[in-house]
Chain A
Amino acid sequence: MHALDLARWQFAITTVYHFLFVPITIGMSFLVAGLHTAWFRTNKLKYLRATKFFGRLFLINFAIGVVTGIVQEFQFGMNWSSYSRFVGDIFGAPLAIEGLLAFFLESTFLGLWIFGWDRLPKKVHLASIWLAATGTIFSAYFILAANAWMQHPVGYILNATKGRAELTNIFTVLTQKTAVVTFFHTIPSAAFTGAAFIAGVSAWLIIKKKDIEMSRVTLKAGLVTMLISFVLVGISGDLTSRVMTEQQPMKMAAAEALYTTTESAPFSLLTIGSLDGSRSVFQIDIPSVLSFLSTGDFKGVVEGVNDLQAKYVTQYGPGDYKPNIPLAYWSFRLMMGFGFIAAFFALLALWQLRKGGTPKGKWFAPAMISLPFLPLLANSFGWIFTETARQPWAVFGLIKTADGVSTVVSAGAVLFTMVVFTVLYGILAFIEVGLILRTIHIGPRPEEDYPVASLGGSDTRPLVMSY
């Protein structure tokens, strides 16, 4: 394999892995902040127990999210230095702002929250988890704005002498609709993911008949959050696909394996393509739905892969402008499919919980155990779709992925680092899941475990929190 392929694999592995933890962090930070607020307002112990129990799970998850995030930033320079030279004038700014505005906020206030139980006034302590949660939102916004610029570059000019893109308007970059719709698609997805995690764990506690009073509250909160965010994910997803059709028609065509430009295009439920991927052999379709999804009109015209390929050859010169179509087609469906299944389980569980009921039936345990995993799969396939169906471009229309790779890094070096990262990440996942299962197994602590934290701290009094 060439350094290019290996660098792409490395990016895929490290990024998909990193993004397993990110949405849980974003979603759970707000839910834990909500539980903490409920305790602050009502002084009821069940909320404190829930805050601490889910806080522990949140932090176990957060640790891996943080350390794998450093790789993300370094990787652009290490494996993709040509890309970095080309886009640095634009792409670097949101990355730097993300660090300055978001990472400092997140890490500092999370530290204050973890260790601040007996060091901060209650109000300030509560504020610290909200500030940390706010940090995750800022972080999401800036990194999504950077990614949106790769999907749809705006606010720049090309400098031919320097061979790079240069920023002309930062506000255009930060407020373009690609960034905005992606943000409103990603944040509810993160809420959905975090809530599914909390709901799944709470349901498990109920199944194990542990702390039922607390678990019912958190299960309901998780399920309701899931359903609300599911609606938002759907609305923003719909907007995203329209923006995508307009800006990256090839991506939409690939998602649908639509080979020729069609009016009143059908939405395909199943397609089997020919081996070379240039046409489909067998399809099950719902008439006109694709046209509606992508243009908002059942009669709208949707461009096909082959027509777009011909168009791009005229526009950008000879070359293959088709992404991996089976991958795009299936990842798009798996994204939606896993999301739908999770939402369906949530709805079913919530229905049974109404009026104080307890969920019954053989479906409950397996559905709830799978609940935290389904959104993770949906998120991963969503990003796999977004990134691979933009190929061959790194920045749509400006620089191809193949031209972005570092020229001075050998294939052996990329292979070596990829193997080490993969093995290391695998070990960390194993340890992390072990700790999470153990935390769940131990469950929330009994009430006598919570000494009243008095303020001030001294050199001798036992610490409420220590490493």
Chain B
Amino acid sequence: MSFQSVWFILIVVLWVGYFVLEGFDFGVGMLLPFVSRNEADRRAVLTTLGPVWDGNEVWLLVAGGATFAAFPEWYATLFSGFYLPLFLILVALIVRGVAFEYRSKYGKAQWRQRWDVAIVIASALPALLWGVAFANIVRGVPLEKSASGSIEYVGGFFNLLNPYALLGGVVTLTVFLTHGAHFLALKTAGEIRVKAHDLAIKLGLVAAVSAVAFLVWSNLMLPSINAKFLTLSVATALLWVAGFGANYLRREGWAFIASSLAITTFVTGLFVALYPRVMPSSLGAQFDLTITNASSTDYTLKVMTVVAVVMTPVVLVYQGWTYWVFRKRVSAAQIMHPERGVLDTLPL
């Protein structure tokens, strides 16, 4: 296997890690007002994310950095081409991170309400836009060779808002909402857990409908049937059903594992449909960015492979261990003086 293929796989791994992990972060953020009645509830919900959200977001930074290193042409074309959606994602991620860290520091009701609104919007926006962006990549966007020989995006912002891509956005939005509900049902106790369970049923159905529609559309869009993509699409549907069933039966751990795996097969499937292209052009295959024409040299890929092969397992071990350390459920009753600011009352 060529180093380019190895790195294609590693990039898939990074995006899968990102969507599985930050997927539930986004979901929990969006669900915040819908699973909680009071301050104690809200703080319990956010505490489930407290120790992990930042580590989850690093998957995005590494995916971005790895794309830069392994496929600079892809990185350059994608980031300059999808300029405004990525900018909106950045703004949302900035606001969201700060909101998590700051909202409970101070007790004033208005202060907290504003951060809560920020958390909901700043979780929903990237959850939607990542789907729009990836669907556009799969569908193909106008790419053309520039005078200097580089392949550049020549569409505008509104080119990206086509029905297929918007459906893709609805899929990630609803899938992350359900995934977040599964996570909350697993990680909380009392009323939050019950509400998360109930919401996961409703959201799971909406997500199922939109995901199936999207996957059928995606499979039909390809010039010929791609057996691997089709298999992964079917696997996604089955895993989603399994997660739905597990949640229904209140097997919360299994429900969360199943939705994590469904996201894994879903994202992997989209990349499989692309391979060996990384960004197909809608203006003709001669303008496609592929793992060959977008990649770094073999030497760079080799260096990066050594680093990735050594470091990724280590990261997985200690990040996994974090989830083990914080495996206990969080309940609203455990939050001392929920109305008071963290700075004012409690030891850190």
| Residues of chain A at the chain B interface (Cβ within 8 Å) | 52, 55-56, 59-60, 63-64, 66-71, 73-74, 76-79, 81-82, 84-85, 87-93, 95-101, 103-105, 107-112, 114-116, 119-120, 163-164, 166-168, 170, 406-409, 413, 417, 420-421, 424, 428, 431, 435, 438-439, 442, 445, 449-451, 457-467
B147 nearest CB neighbor, chain A only: A407
Q: What 0/1 readout, one digit per residue, does chain B (183-194) give for beta carbons within 8 Å of chain A?
A: 000000100000
Assembly CA distance A463 to B330 (angstroms)? 9
Assembly CA distance A97 to B100 (angstroms)? 27
Assembly CA distance A78 to B311 (angstroms)? 28
Tell me whether A92 and B75 are in contact (CB under 8 A). Answer: yes
For the complex, is B230 an interface residue (Cβ under 8 Å from A)? no
Checking A64, A66, A85, A458 against B76 with a beta-carbon cut-off of 8 angstroms, the contacting residue is A85
Tell me whether B69 and A92 are in contact (CB under 8 A). Answer: yes
Tell me whether A88 and B69 are in contact in the complex, defined as CB-CB below 8 angstroms, given that A112-B51, A445-B347 are known contacts.
yes
How far is the CB of A434 from the nearest CB of chain B, in Å? 9
A59 nearest CB neighbor, chain B only: B101
Assembly CA distance A442 to B342 (angstroms)? 11
Contacts beyond the supplied A88-B71, A466-B104, A466-B335: 20 A-B pairs with Cβ under 8 Å: A63-B97, A66-B97, A68-B94, A70-B60, A70-B93, A73-B61, A77-B79, A84-B75, A88-B76, A96-B70, A97-B65, A100-B66, A100-B311, A104-B55, A104-B315, A107-B54, A421-B91, A424-B94, A466-B46, A467-B49
For the complex, is B218 an interface residue (Cβ under 8 Å from A)? no
Assembly CA distance A409 to B76 (angstroms)? 12
For the complex, is B219 an interface residue (Cβ under 8 Å from A)? no
**Chain A residues closer than 8 Å to B1, beta-carbon distance:** none
For the complex, is B179 an interface residue (Cβ under 8 Å from A)? no
Tell me whether B65 and A88 are in contact (CB under 8 A). Answer: no
Tell me whether A70 and B322 are in contact (CB under 8 A). Answer: no
Tell me whether B76 and A467 are in contact (CB under 8 A). Answer: no
**Chain A residues closer than 8 Å to B174, beta-carbon distance:** none
CB neighbors of A among B280-303 (8 A):
296-297, 299-300, 303
Q: Which of B82-90, B132-140, B165-173, B248-256 contacts A (4 or more CB under 8 A)?
A: B82-90
**Chain A residues closer than 8 Å to B331, beta-carbon distance:** 459-460
Tell me whether A420 and B43 are in contact (CB under 8 A). Answer: no
Tell me whether A91 and B300 are in contact (CB under 8 A). Answer: no
Tell me whether A85 and B72 are in contact (CB under 8 A). Answer: yes
Checking B91, B100, B149, B329 against A424 with a beta-carbon cut-off of 8 angstroms, the contacting residue is B91
Tell me whether A67 and B97 are in contact in the complex, defined as CB-CB below 8 angstroms, given that A111-B51, A168-B299, A467-B49 are known contacts.
yes
How far is the CB of A155 from the nearest CB of chain B, in Å? 10
**Chain B residues closer than 8 Å to A70, beta-carbon distance:** 57, 60-61, 90, 93-94
**Chain B residues closer than 8 Å to A74, beta-carbon distance:** 64, 79, 86, 90
Tell me whether A457 and B328 are in contact (CB under 8 A). Answer: yes
List the 6 closest pairs (A to B, CB-CB), nearest first. Answer: A88-B72, A77-B79, A92-B69, A92-B68, A81-B80, A96-B65
How far is the CB of A431 from the nearest CB of chain B, in Å? 7
Tell me whether B318 and A108 are in contact (CB under 8 A). Answer: yes
**Chain B residues closer than 8 Å to A73, beta-carbon distance:** 61, 64-65, 68
Tell me whether A435 and B105 are in contact in the complex, defined as CB-CB below 8 angstroms, given that A74-B64, A77-B75, A88-B76 are known contacts.
yes
A463 nearest CB neighbor, chain B only: B334
Tell me whether B62 and A60 are in contact (CB under 8 A). Answer: no
Assembly CA distance A96 to B331 (angstroms)? 38
> What would 26 A/B residue contacts be, using CB atoms closer than 8 Å?
A55-B348, A59-B101, A66-B97, A67-B93, A68-B94, A70-B61, A70-B93, A82-B148, A92-B300, A93-B303, A96-B307, A98-B65, A99-B61, A100-B65, A100-B66, A104-B319, A107-B54, A108-B315, A111-B51, A115-B326, A408-B154, A417-B87, A439-B343, A451-B347, A459-B331, A462-B335
How far is the CB of B91 from the nearest CB of chain A, in Å? 7
How far is the CB of B28 from the nearest CB of chain A, in Å? 11
B54 nearest CB neighbor, chain A only: A107
Q: What 0/1 readout, one digit per residue, does chain B (306-348) give for beta carbons within 8 Å of chain A?
A: 0110011001001100100110111101111000001110111
Assembly CA distance A168 to B55 (angstroms)? 32
**Chain B residues closer than 8 Å to A108, beta-carbon distance:** 54-55, 58, 315, 318-319, 322
Tell me whether A52 and B347 are in contact in the complex, defined as CB-CB below 8 angstroms, given that A74-B64, A104-B58, A107-B57 are known contacts.
yes
For the complex, is B233 an interface residue (Cβ under 8 Å from A)? no
Tell me whether A71 and B334 are in contact (CB under 8 A). Answer: no
**Chain B residues closer than 8 Å to A119, beta-carbon distance:** 325-326
How far is the CB of A278 from the nearest CB of chain B, in Å? 33
**Interface majority SS (helix, strand, loop, mixed), chain B:** helix
Q: What 0/1 readout, one digit per residue, does chain B (138-159) give for beta carbons within 8 Å of chain A?
A: 0000000010111011100000
Tell me whether A76 and B68 are in contact in the complex, defined as CB-CB below 8 angstroms, given that A88-B296, A104-B55, A408-B81 are known contacts.
yes
Tell me whether A167 and B334 are in contact (CB under 8 A). Answer: no
For the complex, is B304 an interface residue (Cβ under 8 Å from A)? yes
Assembly CA distance A101 to B101 (angstroms)? 24
A456 nearest CB neighbor, chain B only: B328
Checking A59, A167, A407 against B146 with a beta-carbon cut-off of 8 angstroms, the contacting residue is A407
B60 nearest CB neighbor, chain A only: A70
**Chain A residues closer than 8 Å to B304, beta-carbon distance:** 93, 96-97
**Chain B residues closer than 8 Å to A467, beta-carbon distance:** 43, 46-47, 49-50, 100, 103-104, 342
Tell me whether A408 and B64 are in contact in the complex, defined as CB-CB below 8 angstroms, given that A104-B319, A108-B55, A114-B348 are known contacts.
no
How far is the CB of B239 from the nearest CB of chain A, in Å? 27
For the complex, is B52 an interface residue (Cβ under 8 Å from A)? yes
For the complex, is B220 an interface residue (Cβ under 8 Å from A)? no
Checking A52, A67, A105, A109 against B348 with a beta-carbon cut-off of 8 angstroms, the contacting residue is A52
B344 nearest CB neighbor, chain A only: A442
Assembly CA distance A433 to B325 (angstroms)? 33
**Chain B residues closer than 8 Å to A110, beta-carbon distance:** 54
Tell me whether A93 and B58 are in contact in the complex, defined as CB-CB below 8 angstroms, given that A82-B76, A463-B47 are known contacts.
no
Checking A67, A95, A463 against B94 with a beta-carbon cut-off of 8 angstroms, the contacting residue is A67
Checking B60, B66, B100, B101 against A96 with a beta-carbon cut-off of 8 angstroms, the contacting residue is B66
How far is the CB of A35 from the nearest CB of chain B, in Å? 13
A445 nearest CB neighbor, chain B only: B347
Assembly CA distance A163 to B147 (angstroms)? 13
B56 nearest CB neighbor, chain A only: A107
How far is the CB of A459 from the nearest CB of chain B, in Å? 5
For the complex, is B215 an interface residue (Cβ under 8 Å from A)? no
Tell me whether A442 and B343 are in contact (CB under 8 A). Answer: yes
Tell me whether B69 and A93 are in contact (CB under 8 A). Answer: yes
**Chain B residues closer than 8 Å to A466, beta-carbon distance:** 43-44, 46-47, 50, 104, 330, 334-336, 342
How far is the CB of A30 from the nearest CB of chain B, in Å? 18
**Chain B residues closer than 8 Å to A421, beta-carbon distance:** 91
Tell me whether A81 and B76 are in contact (CB under 8 A). Answer: yes
Instruction: With a 10 A CB-CB cut-off, give which of B49, B64, B307 has the most chain A CB atoms.
Output: B64
Checking A103, A167, A407, A460 against B300 with a beta-carbon cut-off of 8 angstroms, the contacting residue is A167
A97 nearest CB neighbor, chain B only: B307
**Chain A residues closer than 8 Å to B80, beta-carbon distance:** 77-79, 81, 406-409
**Chain A residues closer than 8 Å to B102, beta-carbon distance:** 60, 63, 431, 435
Tell me whether A111 and B54 are in contact (CB under 8 A). Answer: yes
Checking B71, B322, B336 against A462 with a beta-carbon cut-off of 8 angstroms, the contacting residue is B336
Checking B98, B312, B330 against A67 with a beta-carbon cut-off of 8 angstroms, the contacting residue is B98
Assembly CA distance A63 to B93 (angstroms)? 12
**Chain A residues closer than 8 Å to B164, beta-carbon distance:** none
